[in-house]
Structure formats: structure tokens, C-alpha cells
């Protein structure tokens, strides 16, 4: 049998929650190969040993090891909403492990610790029921003293996929049952250290320290976490390296300590000892508080340059190993990210040690979300139903108790998208009382009553500005006293997010704005199970309720390779602002660090490929200094770059932290015409379009105003809720189906002039095009004017031309902006220079194919194998891909795109921004492409 699946109550039998401590007491890790058998429903479960047992790796998700399948759903529960009942269709998985207990563990009382079991489980050791597990991403410890025995032991974990608690775990991610974090036996020596609570504050050079110690009393029974008897610790001794010895439970004032911050993650090693156990701690002194509606750390304003991080690996799901987590944190640091919201549950405990050490601020979120109830207008929402209060309290308590000693944790978050209600109020009040030294966050309650920050997700820049400047009439006095943060913004789905700079500018302008957290860090694609590393998303596993690719919305791909947005983000998040005087006589340097001056950075100018040092004066935090420049004369671009003098903060020596570039005006290139027929080109008199250039056959040359919709084009911007998504507006207008009519084909002096009209089917709307072709005998110059006519029903995606070549491209070399792509509201990380990219890198492949990869070029050489095509112009938006936009738009997964046999090239005079309407603000007005006259001047040479 399996217990209480319909009970809203917390799990049973667990000890009082406590911190994960680095103890010298013996432990035995039970990870490895376990055996598993499945039952289709709880009613099928038998207690005998029958059935087929197969090996499974712990930690791991069953569905990623061929047992069951993953389900991706965002808001919707993939089962009937009938709380607290789970559906009958509820697979149960018995996990068993036979092991010999080590004599060192057996020499003491002991506990068995589970750190993450996705689903609801009952646990037996040697046939004795230890209790039940609820709270998939939370730790439970069971007492095993007297049950654990010498010689062979048998551990059985009976795990049901669904339970009442599934209603509390509706996070936007894969549902994947399994024991996905470590299982450990821990010796608990009598008189040892049950728990420790470090309170370490910082104020102007001085520190405060109190360490509460809670001793094991030897018969570790179900404790009560409220029973923190400080006296218990009286016999324990505490020493902190470099600071001396301390008495447990006593407030100490330290005249001089080094502060902890993400920029200066200084940790003091400490030991708490009793005769039977030693615990090693790392203490960071820091104080977080709110004053004048401003978030302060160690007395100075704090700006979160954050990301939301889920634990995700494309083969291992939420079983993310430590090396991967460390690499993720370093990648964040290298891109000027200073904060993580652990969306939407506490991560693996070891992640917190890394965050302390590497220096990342954390908003540590409880494992709680009931978003699906929004479908029923929040009726029956557990957040406001007293029968669920014990579960809420239990979850919050386990979250806080486990991670309370980490300086990186500045804020506790009650959970995500759980509506409003008395249970949330209760856990907010509890968290505040248990840990008054941290702030409490919850976004979902518009009253912001028991929280320390006003938090929103995806608010538009207009609204953020109103909030920052206290101009929002809806705010009452209480809310006005709170700093503001965006716990989610800038939805990084597909091509985008556009508009990052506009948010950042607001954060720099209004002290009330404490920054925010991009949604999200990593894409949750899963690789084909047991097969190729092709990226799959919702619906690919036969799910009947799913949300497609809405889970592919990260700055880095599932395998942790960066998408192009990460380079843009690094630039936007730079802690140093640089502004070049238009005449290049000076650069203004703005120090936006929290605690550092710029002594760790050196400045250089790069002019015509020559790097020369610039003297960087001291710039204190918050200050700005004008630094005079004496640069070599040049017609080319100039870069001012700030780099690290030495390795540190997760970066190598020489790592670039900030840069600014001046790119001089470049006139459109022209050819000195000679009155030749049309030099290297052959035109088709029936269409007026070139069909051959030198040795290269050109196909399908045509005006185009459409792009394969991005995920953002398919969304509705927050401010446009009355309109369909732009992709639908384009489809309704048939923007992808422009029909061409040749008007005339004439000569005008040296030029061949072709006039065409490109109209939308059904309507009277289109563009009149004038193609003026000239040549110098070797190259072909095009001056293309586009004039809209008629009442246009939609904005344009782009304005330019397409052409096709019947050979696959090998690579593209270009002078212009790179290495990443650039749309009007993205590409902050792209700088002017000369770059080469393979066709794949140039095209920028996304899990769901869509418009991407445009580079803004002055000169590009497209290597087509036997031939090549050179394009010259000024700020021409160029795409090069093996597929037409129609093929891209019609293909659901990257791996379904046909092999490259040809090349589609587009040259655009203008493109639309991308915005972030897949969830959030649409394309800002200044980045939209409204129908308007456009001119494209290029030189083509084969």
C-alpha cells in the first residue's frame, strides 16, 4: 500500500528540519544503482516481491531512464483539478536498495536523509516504515537508530507520481518523478550538533556575530523546530579563524571584519565543536535591509542583475551535478550577472555553498506553486484553505532551516504564483519571525502586505518607470515604503529578449528600483531519451496536456552553451557605464559596482587594431569621472575597453567587464559606372530580376517584408492585449505571400531601371519598388526604393530582398557588427569589426526554428563553395541560411530542418525589433517597422 496520497498534510515521521552541516560525523552515501518496478496505479501495488525489477540510477528521474515519460505543462494541471485528490491514473514506482551499513555510521544514532524525491513516497527500512515524503525539492531526515543494522539492510521507497501535494508543485517545468537528489545515512553522535544558526551582520567596518547551537540529545525523535533552546549549545565551543573564540547564543560585537558581498565574497572559516562532533562553517558578514524604499546591502544600495535559474540538464533533468552548477555560476559571473532567484524551489544544497564562495546573491524560493487554480479564478486555491496550512508551514520551514546559514541568501521567497491567502500570510510572518535578518518576497499578492519588497513580473518599462518615480496612483503608503524588483522580466524565448537596455536605464535612474531577474537562465529542452542530442519540448513525449516550447526560454541552451542574448546581457548588465564624447575627446566612466572602486580594472583604447593603455583614475562607488582621451587619428571605429588586471571573481585576467565603441559614419558605397550592358549580370526580361551574376546563378530575387515568426512575434505584448500577436496580424494580412507585378523595365542613362509592385493578396496594399541597377563592369550596384501604397493592415517584419543560390554556404566573413546577431532592440553585445562564422553559427539555430541571426554588415563574403557572393553596403541587415523563411516557419524542431543544399540570403534596409511578447512587453514603438519608404543600396559581386 501507499499512504495518504490524498492527504493535504505534510509528510510524516521526519525529524525537525535543520541546516545541512559540514560535519565530521560518519556518513554513507546511498547513491548508485537501485532497482525499480512499476505499478500503473496505487490500487495495483502489491507488497510481495513480484514484478520486474530493473536497474535505475539514483539520483535520477525515472522518465529520463526509460521508465514512464516526462510531461511538460506550464499553468495547467495535467490531471483533473479536484483537490486534494490525485487522479487514479497515477503510476507508482518501488525503488529498492540493498546495502551494508558502515560500522562507523552504526556506532551512533543515525538518520536517513532524502534531499529531493519528485513525487510522494513512503519509506521502509528493513520492513519498518520510517515515514512519508512530501515536498519534492525539500530535505527530509528520518530517524534510523535501532532500525539500521549490521550486515545487509533493505531500503524501499514507494513513490507515486501524483498526490495532494502535486497541487502545490505546479511550477512551469517538466513533471518527472524520481529520486533525483542524493540519499545519505548520517551518524548523529550523542551530544553532537543538531543544528546551527549563524547571525552575522556588517555595519561600516564592524561585524556582529551570534551563533545559535542546538545539540543532539541522543534520541533524535521527531523534534519541533520552534524549540530552539539556545542553552542547548552551552557546552559547544566556537572558533572563527582570524576572529577568535565565541560563546554560543551570545551576541558579539567585532570592531573590524571584512564584509561579504557578491563582489567581495569573503568567508571566514569557523568550527563549532562538541566532544562528539565538529561542524565546519563559512561565515559571511553582511546586512540586508530597506531604508527610504531602497534596498541596501551593507548600507549601500543594491541592484540585482539577476536571472531565474531552474535546475536543468538535457539528459539528467533536475539532477544537476556540482561541476555543472559551478560552471553555470562562473558563466553568470563572466556575464556580469550578480544574482539568482532559485525559481521555483530550493536548489541542491551544495549550490548554496558555491553561491557563497563565488559571490552570487540569492532569492531563495520555497517549493510552492498553485498556478493552475487561476483557471478556476483561484477558487479552491490551497493558499486560502486552512486544511493546507500545515503543508505550507512545513514547506517554508524546511526551506528556511536548510539554507539559513548562507550569506548569499538575502531574501526568502514564499513560492511562485500561488495566488493569495491566509496560508501565504502565515508563512511570511513565520519566516520574518524566524529570520528577522533577511527579507521576505512574494510576487503574487498585490497587497504586498507581509513582504519587504514590492515585486512584479514582466511589468512594462512604462509601468516600471511610474513605480520607480512613485507616480503610480494605485500604491498605498505601505507599498510606497517598499523597494521594487522585477522577480521576472525579459522573457528570453527564441530570438530575444528585445528591450533590455530600456529596463536597465530605469534601474540606473530610480533608487527605488532594485533591478530584476531575467526569465530565464537555462532552456529546459530534453534530449531524445537514449538517443541523439536533439532537443525536444512539450508534446514530444505524447503528452495530452502540454505547453509546447514555452519551456525553451533561456539565455543558455539546455546543454549550457550560451545563446546570443547572453553577450547582449553582459553588456547591458555591466557594472561600469562608459559614455564616449561625440568628438572622442573624453570618456565618462560611471562606477555602478556595489562595493568596488575600479582599481581591479585597466582601461585601453583600441584604434585600428592597436591597443594603447588609458590612465584610469580612481572612481569611487556611484561616482562618475570624465577621463580625457588622446587617440590616434582614424577613420575607423574606436573601442574603449575595461578589463580585469588579474584573474578573480570567476574571470580570467584580461576579462572584459565594460566597453563602448564609436563607429564613424560610413557613406553608402558606389560604383563608378561604365556604360556597359550590365557587366557581369544577366536579367530576366519577363520578371526584371537578375538571374545570373558572374558565374553565379541567382534565383527567386524578390522584395520581402516578412520573417519566420519568432516566439516573441507569436505572443501578445502586455500593452496590446486587445490585438492578436503580430505573427497573426502578418498571417491575416498574408504578409508572407506578396505577389509581384512587373511595371516596367527601362534604361536610364547607365542604369537599368525596373519598376515592380508587390501587393498583398485580397487587398489594395503593397509596396512600389524601383530597382536601379548599375555596374562598373565587374560588380553590380543596386539602389532599391520601396514606397508603401494603400492602407496597410499591419507593421512590417522587415524591408528588403530575398534571393536564393543553389549551393550550400560554407561560411560568412563580414565587416560590420558581430559576432552575435543584431535586431533594433537586441545586439547590445555586438561591436564593429571583422568576423567569420560557419553557416550554422551565422544562422543561429534555435530549438524551435524562427527568424534569427541577422548581422548588420558593411561588407560580407558568403562562401558558397565553388563560388562566393560579396555584398557591400552600409548597415545592411543580412541573413544567410540553408532554408527559406517559409520552411523555417513550418518546422517545429531544429533537427527536422532539411539538410543544407541551397542558400537563402536576405538583404534588408530595415527590420522590426523583437521585443519580449512571448511573455511581457511587445516591441517598443521606436523599434517597430511601420510601413514607410525604405531604401537599400548594395553592391553585389560574385
**Cell numbers for 166:** 502535486
DSSP letter, residue 736: G
Of 185 and 368, nearer to ligand GAL (C-beta) is: 368
> Is 917 a residue that touches ligand GAL (CB under 6 A)?
no
Mark 764-776 as b/e (b = at least 16 C-beta within 10 Å). Answer: ebbbbbbbbbbbb
Contact by Cβ (8 Å): 824, 654:
no
Of 10 and 715, nearer to ligand GAL (C-beta) is: 715
* C-alpha distances in Å from residue 480, one per residue of 45, 127, 424, 453, 622: 56, 57, 21, 10, 24
Q: Which of residues 550-609 bind ligand GAL (CB under 6 A)?
A: 550, 553
Residue 921: CB minimum distance to ligand GAL, A: 13
Q: What angle do CA 142, 145, 147 make, to 5 degrees?
A: 90
Phi and psi torsions of 130, nearest 5° = -85, -30
Residue 188: CB minimum distance to ligand GAL, A: 37
Residue 611: CB minimum distance to ligand GAL, A: 42
Give the whole-angstrom CA distance, residue 542 versus residue 49: 31
Residue 718: CB minimum distance to ligand GAL, A: 12
Among 403, 417, 425, 776, binds ligand GAL (CB under 6 A): 417
Q: Which of residues 138-197 bind ligand GAL (CB under 6 A)?
A: 172
Work out whether strand 206-215 and strand 193-203 pair parallel, antiparallel, or are unpaired.
antiparallel
Residue 361: CB minimum distance to ligand GAL, A: 19
DSSP letter, residue 47: S
Of 142 and 519, nearer to ligand GAL (C-beta) is: 519
Instruction: Give Cβ neighbours of residue 525 (< 8 Å, ≥ 6 apart).
Output: 314, 535, 536, 537, 551, 552, 557, 558, 847
Give the whole-angstrom CA distance, residue 699 versus residue 687: 11
Residue 228: CB minimum distance to ligand GAL, A: 33
Of 343 and 906, nearer to ligand GAL (C-beta) is: 343
Q: Which of 340, 330, 331, 335 is nearest to 304 (CA)?
A: 340
> Is 837 a residue that touches ligand GAL (CB under 6 A)?
no
Among 232, 425, 488, 540, binds ligand GAL (CB under 6 A): 488
Of 158 and 491, nearer to ligand GAL (C-beta) is: 491
Of 18 and 341, nearer to ligand GAL (C-beta) is: 341
DSSP 127-194: TEEEEEE--TTS-EEEE-TTTS-SSEEEEEEEEES--GGGGGB--SEEE--EE-S-EEEEE--TT-EE
928: left (phi over 0), alpha (psi -120 to 50) or beta: beta
Residue 171: CB minimum distance to ligand GAL, A: 6
DSSP letter, residue 386: G
Q: Which of residues 294-333 bind ligand GAL (CB under 6 A)?
A: none
Long-range contacts, 290-295 (Cβ 8 Å, 24+): 290/439, 290/452, 290/453, 290/481, 290/482, 290/483, 292/511, 293/470, 293/480, 293/481, 293/482, 293/483, 293/484, 293/511, 293/512, 294/483, 294/511, 294/512, 294/514, 295/439, 295/453, 295/483, 295/485, 295/514
Q: Which of 926, 876, 934 is nearest to 905 (CA)?
A: 876
Residue 746: CB minimum distance to ligand GAL, A: 54
Residue 653: CB minimum distance to ligand GAL, A: 37
Of 301 and 920, nearer to ligand GAL (C-beta) is: 920
Of 367 and 488, nearer to ligand GAL (C-beta) is: 488
Q: CA dihedral defined by 58, 61, 67, 72, rounded to 10 degrees?
A: 180
Contact by Cβ (8 Å): 684, 698:
no
Tell me the three state secondary structure of residue 699.
strand
Q: Which single residue is written with the C-alpha cell 524601383? A: 770
140 bridge partner residues: 114
**Interface map 531-550 toward ligand GAL (x if CB under 6 A):** -------------------x
**Cell numbers for 304:** 540585482
Q: Residue of minimal CB distance from ligand GAL?
A: 172
Among 919, 936, 938, 939, binds ligand GAL (CB under 6 A): 919
Residue 363: CB minimum distance to ligand GAL, A: 13
Q: Which of 488, 502, 520, 543 is the catalytic position?
A: 488
Residue 328: CB minimum distance to ligand GAL, A: 18
Among 35, 38, 69, 74, binds ligand GAL (CB under 6 A): 74
Tell me the three state secondary structure of residue 231.
helix
The site for ligand GAL, by CB under 6 A, has a size of 12
Contact by Cβ (8 Å): 680, 693:
yes
Instruction: Tell me if residue 417 is catalytic.
Output: yes
**Interface map 330-369 toward ligand GAL (x if CB under 6 A):** --------------x-------------------------
Contact by Cβ (8 Å): 711, 493:
yes
> Is 519 a residue that touches ligand GAL (CB under 6 A)?
yes
Give the whole-angstrom CA distance, residue 511 versus residue 921: 22
**Interface map 872-911 toward ligand GAL (x if CB under 6 A):** ----------------------------------------
Residue 293: CB minimum distance to ligand GAL, A: 24
Of 515 and 816, nearer to ligand GAL (C-beta) is: 515
Of 346 and 853, nearer to ligand GAL (C-beta) is: 346
Among 287, 416, 448, 846, binds ligand GAL (CB under 6 A): 416
Of 279 and 490, nearer to ligand GAL (C-beta) is: 490
Contact by Cβ (8 Å): 852, 821:
yes
Mark 627-644 as b/e (b = at least 16 C-beta within 10 Å). Answer: bebeeeeeeebbbbbbbb
Q: Which of 369, 417, 523, 602 is the catalytic position?
A: 417
Of 309 and 491, nearer to ligand GAL (C-beta) is: 491
**Interface map 443-482 toward ligand GAL (x if CB under 6 A):** --------------x-------------------------
Which positions lie near ligand GAL, rule CB under 6 A?
74, 172, 344, 416-417, 457, 488, 491, 519, 550, 553, 919
Catalytic residues: 417, 488
Amino acid at each position: 500500500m501507499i499512504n495518504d496520497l490524498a492527504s493535504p498534510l505534510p509528510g510524516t515521521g521526519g525529524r525537525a528540519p535543520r541546516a545541512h552541516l559540514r560535519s565530521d560525523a560518519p556518513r554513507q552515501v546511498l547513491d548508485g544503482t537501485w532497482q525499480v518496478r512499476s505499478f500503473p496505479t496505487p490500487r495495483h501495488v502489491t507488497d510481495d516481491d513480484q514484478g520486474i525489477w530493473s536497474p535505475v540510477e539514483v539520483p535520477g528521474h525515472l522518465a529520463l531512464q526509460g521508465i514512464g515519460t516526462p510531461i511538460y505543462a506550464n499553468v495547467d494541471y495535467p490531471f483533473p483539478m479536484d483537490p486534494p485528490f490525485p487522479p487514479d491514473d497515477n503510476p507508482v514506482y518501488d525503488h529498492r536498495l540493498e546495502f551494508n551499513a558502515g560500522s562507523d555510521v552504526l556506532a551512533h544514532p543515525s538518520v536517513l536523509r532524502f534531499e529531493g524525491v519528485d513525487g510522494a513516497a513512503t519509506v521502509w527500512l528493513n520492513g519498518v516504515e520510517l515515514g512519508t515524503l512530501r515536498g519534492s525539492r525539500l530535505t527530509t531526515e528520518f530517524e534510523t537508530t535501532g532500525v539500521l543494522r549490521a550486515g545487509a539492510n533493505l531500503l524501499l521507497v514507494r513513490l507515486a507520481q501524483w498526490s495532494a501535494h502535486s497541487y502545490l508543485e505546479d511550477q512551469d517545468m517538466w513533471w518527472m518523478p524520481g529520486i533525483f537528489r542524493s540519499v545519505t545515512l548520517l551518524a548523529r553522535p550523542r551530544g553532537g550538533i543538531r543544528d546551527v544558526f549563524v547571525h552575522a551582520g556588517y555595519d561600516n567596518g564592524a561585524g556582529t556575530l551570534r551563533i545559535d547551537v542546538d545539540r543532539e540529545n541522543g534520541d533524535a525523535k521527531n523534534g519541533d523546530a520552534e524549540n530552539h533552546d539556545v542553552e542547548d549549545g552551552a557546552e559547544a565551543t566556537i572558533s572563527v579563524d582570524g576572529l577568535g573564540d565565541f560563546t554560543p547564543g551570545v551576541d558579539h560585537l567585532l570592531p573590524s571584519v571584512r564584509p561579504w558581498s557578491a563582489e567581495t565574497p569573503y568567508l571566514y572559516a569557523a568550527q563549532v565543536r562538541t566532544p562528539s562532533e565538529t561542524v565546519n562553517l563559512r561565515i559571511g558578514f553582511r546586512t540586508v535591509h530597506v531604508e527610504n524604499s531602497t534596498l541596501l546591502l551593507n548600507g549601500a544600495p543594491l541592484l540585482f542583475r539577476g536571472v531565474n535559474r531552474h535546475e536543468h540538464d538535457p539528459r539528467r533533468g533536475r539532477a544537476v551535478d556540482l561541476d555543472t552548477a559551478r560552471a553555470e555560476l562562473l558563466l553568470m559571473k563572466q556575464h556580469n550577472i550578480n544574482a539568482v532567484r532559485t525559481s521555483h524551489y530550493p536548489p541542491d544544497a551544495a549550490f548554496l555553498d558555491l553561491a557563497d564562495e563565488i559571490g552570487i546573491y540569492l532569492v531563495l524560493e520555497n517549493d510552492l506553486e498553485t498556478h493552475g487554480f487561476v483557471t478556476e479564478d483561484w477558487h479552491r486555491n490551497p493558499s486560502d484553505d486552512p486544511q493546507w496550512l500545515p503543508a505550507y508551514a512545513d514547506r517554508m520551514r524546511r526551506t528556511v532551516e536548510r539554507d539559513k546559514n548562507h550569506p548569499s541568501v538575502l531574501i526568502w521567497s514564499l513560492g511562485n504564483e500561488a495566488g493569495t491567502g491566509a496560508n501565504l500570510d502565515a508563512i511570511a510572518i513565520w519566516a520574518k519571525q524566524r529570520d528577522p535578518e533577511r527579507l521576505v518576497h512574494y510576487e503574487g499578492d498585490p497587497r504586498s502586505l507581509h513582504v519587504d519588497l514590492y515585486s512584479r513580473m514582466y511589468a512594462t518599462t512604462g509601468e516600471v518607470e511610474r513605480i520607480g518615480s512613485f507616480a503610480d496612483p494605485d500604491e498605498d503608503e505601505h507599498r510606497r515604503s517598499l523597494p521594487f524588483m522585477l522577480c521576472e522580466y525579459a522573457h528570453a524565448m527564441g530570438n530575444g529578449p528585445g528591450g533590455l537596455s530600456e529596463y536597465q536605464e530605469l534601474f540606473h535612474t530610480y533608487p527605488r528600483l532594485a533591478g530584476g531577474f531575467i526569465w530565464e537562465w537555462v532552456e529546459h529542452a530534453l534530449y531524445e531519451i537514449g538517443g541523439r542530442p536533439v532537443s525536444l519540448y512539450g508534446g514530444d513525449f505524447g503528452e495530452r496536456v502540454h505547453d509546447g516550447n514555452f519551456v525553451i526560454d533561456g539565455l543558455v541552451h539546455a546543454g549550457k552553451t550560451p545563446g546570443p542574448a547572453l553577450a547582449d546581457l553582459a553588456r547591458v548588465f555591466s557594472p561600469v557605464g562608459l559614455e564616449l564624447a561625440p568628438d572622442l575627446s573624453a570618456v565618462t566612466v560611471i562606477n555602478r559596482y556595489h562595493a568596488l572602486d575600479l582599481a581591479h580594472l585597466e582601461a585601453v583604447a583600441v584604434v585600428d587594431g592597436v591597443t594603447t593603455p588609458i590612465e584610469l583614475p580612481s572612481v569611487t562607488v556611484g561616482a562618475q569621472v570624465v577621463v580625457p582621451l588622446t587617440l590616434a587619428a582614424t577613420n575607423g571605429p574606436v573601442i574603449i575597453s575595461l578589463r580585469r588586471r588579474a584573474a578573480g571573481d570567476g574571470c580570467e585576467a584580461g576579462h572584459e567587464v565594460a566597453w563602448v565603441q564609436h563607429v564613424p559614419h560610413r557613406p553608402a558605397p558606389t560604383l563608378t559606372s561604365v556604360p556597359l550592358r550590365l557587366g557581369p549580370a544577366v536579367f530576366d526580361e519577363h520578371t526584371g530580376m537578375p538571374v545570373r551574376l558572374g558565374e553565379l546563378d541567382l534565383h527567386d530575387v524578390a522584395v520581402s517584408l516578412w520573417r519566420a515568426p519568432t516566439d516573441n512575434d507569436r505572443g501578445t505584448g502586455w500593452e496590446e492585449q486587445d490585438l492578436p500577436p503580430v505573427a497573426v496580424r502578418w498571417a491575416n494580412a498574408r504578409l508572407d505571400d506578396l505577389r509581384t507585378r512587373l511595371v516596367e523595365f527601362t534604361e536610364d542613362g547607365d542604369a537599368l531601371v525596373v519598376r515592380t509592385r508587390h501587393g498583398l493578396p485580397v487587398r489594395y496594399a503593397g509596396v512600389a519598388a524601383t530597382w536601379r541597377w548599375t555596374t562598373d563592369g565587374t560588380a553590380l550596384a543596386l539602389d532599391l526604393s520601396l514606397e508603401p501604397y494603400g492602407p496597410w493592415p499591419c507593421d512590417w517584419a522587415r524591408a528588403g530582398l530575398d534571393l536564393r543560390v543553389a549551393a550550400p554556404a560554407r561560411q560568412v566573413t563580414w565587416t560590420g557588427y558581430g559576432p552575435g546577431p543584431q535586431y533594433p532592440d537586441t545586439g547590445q553585445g555586438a561591436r564593429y569589426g571583422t568576423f567569420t562564422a560557419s553557416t550554422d553559427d551565422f544562422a543561429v539555430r534555435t530549438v524551435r526554428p524562427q527568424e534569427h541571426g541577422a548581422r548588420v554588415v558593411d561588407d560580407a563574403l558568403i562562401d558558397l563553395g565553388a563560388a562566393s557572393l560579396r555584398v557591400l553596403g552600409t548597415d545592411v541587415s543580412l541573413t544567410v541560411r540553408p532554408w527559406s523563411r517559409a520552411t523555417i516557419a513550418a518546422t517545429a524542431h531544429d533537427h527536422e530542418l532539411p539538410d543544407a543544399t541551397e542558400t537563402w540570403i536576405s538583404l534588408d534596409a530595415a527590420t522590426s525589433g523583437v521585443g519580449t511578447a512571448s511573455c511581457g512587453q511587445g516591441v517598443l514603438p521606436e523599434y517597430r517597422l511601420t510601413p514607410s519608404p525604405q531604401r537599400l543600396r548594395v553592391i553585389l559581386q560574385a
